[in-house]
Chains A and B, each alone.
Chain A
Amino acid sequence: MSTSVEKAVKSPQAGGLRQAMAWLHTWSGLWISWLLFAIFLTGTLAVFEEPIGHWMQPEHALEEAAHASEAPLPKVVDRGRRIELALAYMAKEHPKTDMWEIWPVQRPEQGLSAYWFQPGGGYGAADLDPKTGVEIKHEAKATQRQTIGGHHFVDFHYELHAGRIGVWIVGMTTMIMLVALVSGVITHKRIFKDFFTFRPAKGQRSWLDAHNAVAVLSLPFQFMIAYTGLVFYADDYVPAPVAVQYAGAPNIKKAFLDEWNDLGKPAASGRAMAVPDLEPYALRAEQVIGQEIRAVVLDHPGDAAMRVCMYGWNEDAELKQRISATTGMACYALATGEQLTVRLPGDADAGGAALTRMVMSNLHMAGFGGMPVRWLYFLCGLAGTAMMGTGALLFMVKRRQRAGGEFGRATQQVYRLIECLNVAAIAGLAVACIGFLWANRLIPVGIEHRPGWEVRAFFGVWFLMLVHACLRAEKRAWVEQLALFATMCLLLPVLNVLGTGDSMMAQIARGDWESAGVELTAVVFGLLGAWAAWRTHVRKAKPVKKNSPENIPAAAASLHATSKGQS
């Protein structure tokens, strides 16, 4: 045993490319599979950030339903007046700021808003009364359920709630995932044939078949989602080109960003000029870009070099037809009335590379194609999650059949640790995710820092699952955590009735498919979890006993044929 292990450690490269890649796939895959599973599961849930957020604000949802029968708001006719009110507010309250942004739109949940760059950095914001221009102070009502909503899943999957450090950890993990994908494909020469191979209830071979099937089926998606995920912080991860080409600029990063974000921004002239009526520019811009105006952005207000940029509004129907989510934009020099730049909807400010980056970002976020694409992403994301999960399990299933001595005398302890981490990372995280939704209903409304407590509940439950996985025998740990997961999923609609009095039937009756969808999906997951718990429970013995002694040659032969070199 030790000789074969030694050989594997010494040089997997000696056995040729496929063996080297198999080794790389196994080991790079193992160490990141737990974290990747978490990133993928939460990223998959993040696809439905909005419905989840909607479900997590039941009072708001009910209020919305109460207003649903009212006639839609009349179309804005007084936009010019709204812009004037907001300009007057800014001139009075924030005259020194260098950028004023006004949203004069009238849409559900949108009234009149003003934004500006704080002199000390950061974005300032105020909601204004559209009729009087007076700032509306939002005071948290005691009855309002403060929640982080579905954004928890978005935050976790790209920064693990850990800020910059999290972004780097996720970036490195994603990079290793790319390596694992490529090495996995090279390992797998019968990629097409194996996709149609599934041998159920055969222990290791079934896990390998399942791993291959979900991986091959969703492979293009996995490459796409990993690569486009890296794009968001690409110039942070690889800062060398920016540092070299913009050397000498006072703020290197800003110089780079300006060059593709904000072309042709004028410098302030120092001469004063009154802010003119902006409505005529909004009308001109609407003609040019063919979209309704969403935002009015004024640079250097009160300076003769003033420039206004009018941004359009992407209608849902438009985003069903194009992948680039940029809106239309038209900019004007206010001293001369000259049109400076025009960007049609879907185009980029700069050239093809900038457009590529925008499209990649939007591809990652499923910001196109509406609900069908979101469901497609959800299913592909689950396939990716299953790929990580089956991969992590496969590692241990194999070693239970034919233990290696990779870790010397500590091998058994390391295997036990890997088993614990498998349970906690897969079943435990699933419990934590549904526990997060439970926390939303159980944490008292009106408590301070409530969103923070929801996140703490998520991590707390996850930690408890880790402790539980370490204390219980492996099989019992799986069964108990899967059963807990199933129970919590299946009882989620009941919890909602008890907590808010709102039932799934009522949601469906009033057409609130976002809330009903969350509960229905939870029930489906609950059924799957119950099935998995039951299957694990009735599994008679560990495969190592089942496959002894007469089956070992066959198992070893298949191992040799299908995953040669994956030790």
Chain B
Amino acid sequence: MKSAKMMLLSRVLAAIFGGYALTSGVAILLSSILPLSRGEAVQTAVLSAFITYTCAVIWVFSVQDMCRAWLGMLLPAVLCGGLGLLLARGGA
């Protein structure tokens, strides 16, 4: 019972914080690589972020293995975010 509760807590945390990290990572990547002006690309990334977040949360609650759930959030979050940072547009 105890471990079931911890599993649930871990899943909720993965959904909320892991999902948010993934959302931010994807948004950073989109704002860097979309073939639009800087303002437009950032705007598009921000507006589409809630789709990413919703899908991420749904996915976390649909996989069984908690390890997969956390990895599935954090790995792409780091990859997308890192790539986005590398490709970030210069100053104005």
Contacts and interface: CB of A to CB of B under 8 A. Distances in A.
A10 B47 contact: no
Interface string A349-370: 0111110110010000000000
Nearest to B5: A9
Contacts of A234: 46-47, 49-50
A352 B28 contact: no
A357 B84 CA distance: 23
Contacts of B45: 238, 241
A299 to B, nearest CB: 19
B61 A21 contact: yes
Given A241-B27, A245-B89, A354 B53 contact: no
B13 interface: no
B13 to A, nearest CB: 14
A171 to B, nearest CB: 10
B79 interface: no
Contacts of B32: 244-245
Contact of B43 (A23, A186, A354): A354
Interface string A244-275: 11111100000110011000000000000000
Interface string A176-199: 001100110010000000000000
A259 B63 contact: no
A142 interface: no
Nearest to B3: A10
> At the interface, is chain B mostly helix, strand, loop or mixed?
helix
A241 B30 contact: yes
A259 B40 CA distance: 9
A308 B63 CA distance: 58
Interface string B28-56: 10111000111111111111011001100
B61 A24 contact: yes
Contacts of B50: 175, 178, 227, 230, 234
Given A10-B7, A178-B54, A247 B61 contact: no
A13 B63 contact: yes
A242 B46 contact: yes
B57 A13 contact: no
A272 to B, nearest CB: 28
Q: Which residue, of B4, B41, B62, B91, has the highest number of chain A Cβ atoms within 10 A?
A: B62
Contacts of A12: 61
A139 B4 CA distance: 65
Given A238-B24, A244-B28, A179 B58 contact: yes
Interface string B1-18: 100110110000000000
A65 to B, nearest CB: 44
Contacts of B78: none
Nearest to B57: A179
A364 to B, nearest CB: 13
Contact of B7 (A11, A241, A256, A353): A11
Nearest to B87: A244
Given A10-B4, A21-B62, A178-B50, A350 B39 contact: yes
B47 A360 contact: yes
Nearest to B38: A245
Contacts of A245: 31-32, 38, 41-42, 88-89
Given A238-B24, A241-B45, A350-B40, A13 B64 contact: yes
A235 interface: yes
A351 B37 contact: yes
A352 B88 contact: no
Contacts of B39: 256, 259-260, 350, 353-354
Of listed A6, A179, A237, A240, residue having the most chain B CB within 10 A: A240
Contacts of B81: 240
A14 B40 contact: no
B85 interface: yes
A14 B8 CA distance: 13
Contacts of B42: 235, 241-242, 245-246, 256
Contacts of B37: 259, 350-351
Interface of A: 6, 9-14, 17, 20-21, 23-24, 175, 178-179, 182-183, 186, 227, 230-231, 234-235, 237-238, 240-242, 244-249, 255-256, 259-260, 350-354, 356-357, 360
Interface of B: 1, 4-5, 7-8, 23-25, 27-28, 30-32, 36-47, 49-50, 53-54, 57-58, 61-64, 81, 84-85, 88-89, 91-92
Given A234-B49, A259-B37, 19 more contacts: A9-B8, A13-B62, A17-B62, A20-B62, A175-B53, A178-B53, A178-B54, A182-B58, A234-B46, A235-B46, A241-B30, A241-B31, A245-B31, A247-B91, A249-B92, A353-B36, A353-B47, A354-B40, A360-B47
7 contacts: A178-B54, A234-B50, A259-B39, A260-B40, A260-B43, A353-B36, A353-B43
* For the complex of A and B, 10 pairs with smallest distance between CB atoms: A259-B39, A241-B31, A353-B43, A240-B24, A238-B49, A241-B45, A10-B4, A13-B64, A353-B40, A353-B44
